[in-house]
Structure 1
């Protein structure tokens, strides 16, 4: 089941193996996502059976990230405005977080902060990317940090929360995760998706987000793009000047469309300013 090239602590493997099966909602959404022909009513039927998912979707669609002119009060209107891919991203993320019910205290954030950063990352992907790349990466951009919930639980169980918090104050998050657990959040996300047999291509693309040098060439551009999105929308400080600068430098190094990325960032920032007003 697991990537044999990755040495994973047995306690982490046990933690992944002990995860409950995917809820019916996620299974149905994944089956819908894989269909070549997607009917809006089919997706609405799935979403409307889950009251919590409905509430989450309406909350996200009414946030300043999208800056819609009027309040969104129905799931149908929300899906029409957000688009099917982004709606699927929100639905999957919401359902997975309900399974991985762990506080994120070791990271100094709340699950709401995580959700907001995930929304920003996926929205930035929407604004920046085009065509097939956009369709393929909106969902991974939303879900690539899901492994943080398991890492936070492991760190807390080992009594390392205070030390981990202090290490994050002066160190790179990826390096600190490796130091304390031997895995990054993105690598663990990939292992979780392998466990659940969820979206195999996404598991491959996410696996090397923090290890670009060892990325399979077939997924390289997608993985590099996710790395840039993760950098700019770093969950502990999304869209900070420092993280934006780091992301733009990486995008240039990867020969990605930097001009389009800059425009997308400005658009996203403008929308968020309206939220503050």
Structure 2
């Protein structure tokens, strides 16, 4: 596991911010999951209470990224066909997006969630291509949507977030360095707190906490953490995340650690265009197809 989060850093990062609590719907679903025999009808009914959440969940399940040969027509059908735990992971990610995006329709917020969704889809597609387990594939989707959740919290309170970050990144500075100087917090720690509060696995929480600290993550003694981290960074690279969010064409973090990240996935740089073509066939745009 990666090193534990410094509690003093958490206290400082939280100053002036409120971590959105896990919605009641997830708490009620968890109560069902903790029962000896979870009631799928009851779980499906809880999800269906919010038409927007249920509809978006079915849209994702029926997308090309899940690669299902038959169309899923209801939440209950999804629970029976995919398994309750897979559906709940997806619902949790969808709920996070709806919760943090509520009332935020400015240009940067829309860009951020579009980028997160693209990163999630790429990470899940790559995990499937590399024959990682179903759990890792699903975790990659959650990781893609959750990893920048802390940015949403900062941006909600700081209108100048995009401009400040753009200027700092153009100077070659790191995300956390810029955020800590100007906002007295960083989106990695805030994202970690959100992920922990929303009951993501310890491995996912750790990757979110250190996703801009490649040297630390690549030295983790957890192979799962390193794999999730590598898949996330590769997905960020393919999506051109820094370009989408801050119009930064160079990504020093990727260039500096690219070889080590690819080593985790047993890849060579020359294979990247081939993977980009794979993603293109899966209807995902990348920096290689722009």
Q: If the length of structure 2 is used for normalisation, what is the TM-score?
A: 0.66
| CA pair 155-36 structure 1, distance change in 2 beyond 3 A | farther
Q: Which residue matches 1:24?
A: 24
Determine the C-alpha separation between the residues in 2 that align with 1:62 and 1:168: 37
Q: Which residue matches 1:186?
A: 188
| CA pair 95-200 structure 1, distance change in 2 beyond 3 A | same
Q: Which residue matches 1:270?
A: 281
Q: Any conservation in 2 of the 1:65–1:268 contact (CA below 8 Å)?
A: no
Q: Any conservation in 2 of the 1:252–1:258 contact (CA below 8 Å)?
A: yes
**Count of residues in Structure 1 that have an aligned counterpart in Structure 2:** 266
Determine the C-alpha separation between the residues in 1 that align with 2:199 and 2:261: 28
Q: Which residue matches 2:262?
A: 252
Q: Which residue matches 2:232?
A: 230
Q: Which runs of 5+ in 2 are unaligned?
A: 244-249
> How far 1:271 sits from its partner (Å)?
1.3
> How far 1:233 sits from its partner (Å)?
2.4
| CA pair 54-177 structure 1, distance change in 2 beyond 3 A | same
Q: Any conservation in 1 of the 2:57–2:90 contact (CA below 8 Å)?
A: yes
Q: Which residue matches 2:136?
A: 134
1:1-277 to structure 2, matched below 5 A, reads: 3-5=5-7, 7=9, 10=12, 12-16=13-17, 18-30=18-30, 40-41=40-41, 43-68=43-68, 72-79=72-79, 84-100=84-100, 101=102, 102=104, 105-106=107-108, 109-131=111-133, 134=136, 137-138=139-140, 139-156=142-159, 159-168=160-169, 171=172, 174=175, 176-177=178-179, 180-181=182-183, 183-194=185-196, 196=197, 198-199=199-200, 201=202, 202-214=204-216, 220-234=222-236, 237=240, 249-253=259-263, 255-258=264-267, 267-272=278-283
> How far 1:53 sits from its partner (Å)?
1.2
| CA pair 110-187 structure 1, distance change in 2 beyond 3 A | closer
Give a deviation string over 1:74-93, Cα, whole Å, max 9, x none.
Answer: 22444566555543332112
RMSD value, Cα: 4.5
| CA pair 57-216 structure 1, distance change in 2 beyond 3 A | same
| CA pair 137-20 structure 1, distance change in 2 beyond 3 A | closer
Q: Which runs of 5+ in 1 are unaligned?
A: none
| CA pair 127-178 structure 1, distance change in 2 beyond 3 A | farther
